[in-house]
């Protein structure tokens, strides 16, 4: 899989995508991550990528030309399954979207900045818009890193134990049950006896019960989606 990320602040993406699971996936050759500085196609001697809003609103808007030229350059080299814009008003990222995108071969992720991007980019170049929640951050770089991480960890061979991803929260529509590790008792705090019983069937039943209860308490809307 190849992920190309377009940004005006590439430094924000260097650390999140070069360490831990994404970094190991790159080293294994299971994914390519390429971060592109949109100022390559900036306008004029200052390599400008933004300008004032038409209509007089406050804030600067990312210009069409640098984004168009960068996407045009990439598309001349290969086909892309999606051109994704990290948009505050896009579809909310969830596990289903991550699962779907992990099956793609090549994707572009465009990071907005400043006030946002010229609407013509959204109309003519972007194929999908994704948000990480109903709030605003300084730019799309951190959301892009979140999206990339959620995709990469699902690629076969990335995780040492591939069954781990299958038991993550939201994979089956529920949040995960509580988990414990050794020691069985610390400071008087004990691991539930059922997890020490050695009976996989009873343990699984307890985990299912806990996952359902926790989902009902913390993410009740997920149960509505299962009806």
What per-residue confidence (pLDDT) applies to 58? 87
The tens digit of pLDDT for each residue in 58-70 reads 899 999 999 999 9
Nearest of 194, 173, 176, 192 to residue 184 by alpha carbon: 192
pLDDT at 167 over 70: no
User: 1.10.1270.20, 3.30.70.60, 3.40.50.720, 3.40.190.10: which CATH number matches 171-226?
Assistant: 1.10.1270.20
Region 79-93 average pLDDT: 97
pLDDT at 51 over 60: yes
- Domain ranges in the chain are 2-152, 171-226
Alpha-carbon span 33 to 116, nearest angstrom:
24
Alpha-carbon span 110 to 117, nearest angstrom:
10
Mean pLDDT of the residues in the chain:
93
As given in the structure block, the two tokens for residue 35 are 């971060």
Region 136-164 average pLDDT: 89
The tens digit of pLDDT for each residue in 172-192 reads 789 999 999 999 999 999 999
pLDDT at 218 over 90: yes
Q: Strand pairing of 32-37 and 2-7?
A: parallel
The tens digit of pLDDT for each residue in 87-142 reads 999 999 999 999 999 999 999 999 999 889 999 999 999 999 999 999 989 999 99
Report residue 13's pLDDT band, with 50, 70 and 90 as the boundaries.
very high
Query: Exposed, middle or buried, 92 (CB in 10 Å: 0-12/13-18/19+)?
Result: exposed
Region 37-41 average pLDDT: 98
Q: Which residues contact 86 (CB under 8 A, 6 or more apart)?
A: 109, 110, 111, 112, 129, 130, 131, 132, 140, 143, 144, 147
Place of tokens 């699902």: 154
What per-residue confidence (pLDDT) applies to 172? 75
What per-residue confidence (pLDDT) applies to 38? 98
- Superfamily assignment of 2-152 in CATH? SPOUT methyltransferase, trefoil knot domain (3.40.1280.10)
What per-residue confidence (pLDDT) applies to 162? 57
Alpha-carbon span 211 to 58, nearest angstrom:
46
Q: Which residues contact 45 (CB under 8 A, 6 or more apart)?
A: none
pLDDT at 156 over 80: yes
Report residue 33's pLDDT band, with 50, 70 and 90 as the boundaries.
very high
Place of tokens 């988990």: 179
Three-state DSSP at 21 gives helix
Report residue 160's pLDDT band, with 50, 70 and 90 as the boundaries.
confident
| pTM of the model as a whole | 0.89
């Amino acid at each position: 899989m190849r992920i190309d990320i377009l940004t005006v602040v590439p430094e924000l993406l260097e650390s999140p995508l070069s360490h831990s699971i994404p970094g190991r996936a790159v080293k294994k050759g299971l994914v390519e991550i390429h971060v592109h500085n949109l100022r390559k196609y900036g306008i004029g001697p200052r390599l400008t990528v933004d300008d004032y809003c038409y209509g007089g609103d406050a804030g600067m808007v990312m210009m069409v030309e640098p984004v168009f030229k960068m996407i045009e350059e990439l598309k001349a080299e290969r086909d892309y399954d999606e051109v994704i814009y990290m948009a505050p008003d896009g579809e909310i990222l969830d596990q289903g979207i991550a699962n779907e995108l992990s099956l793609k071969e090549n994707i572009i992720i465009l990071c907005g900045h400043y006030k946002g991007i010229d609407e013509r980019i959204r109309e003519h170049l972007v194929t999908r818009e994704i948000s990480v929640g109903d709030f605003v951050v300084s730019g799309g770089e951190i959301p892009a890193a979140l999206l990339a991480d959620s995709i990469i960890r699902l690629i076969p061979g990335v995780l040492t134990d591939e069954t781990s991803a299958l038991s993550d929260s939201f994979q089956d529509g529920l949040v995960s049950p509580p988990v414990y590790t050794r020691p069985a008792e610390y400071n008087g705090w004990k691991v539930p006896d059922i997890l020490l019983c050695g009976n996989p069937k009873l343990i699984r039943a307890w985990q299912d019960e806990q996952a359902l209860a926790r989902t009902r308490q913390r993410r009740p809307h997920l149960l509505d989606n299962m009806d």
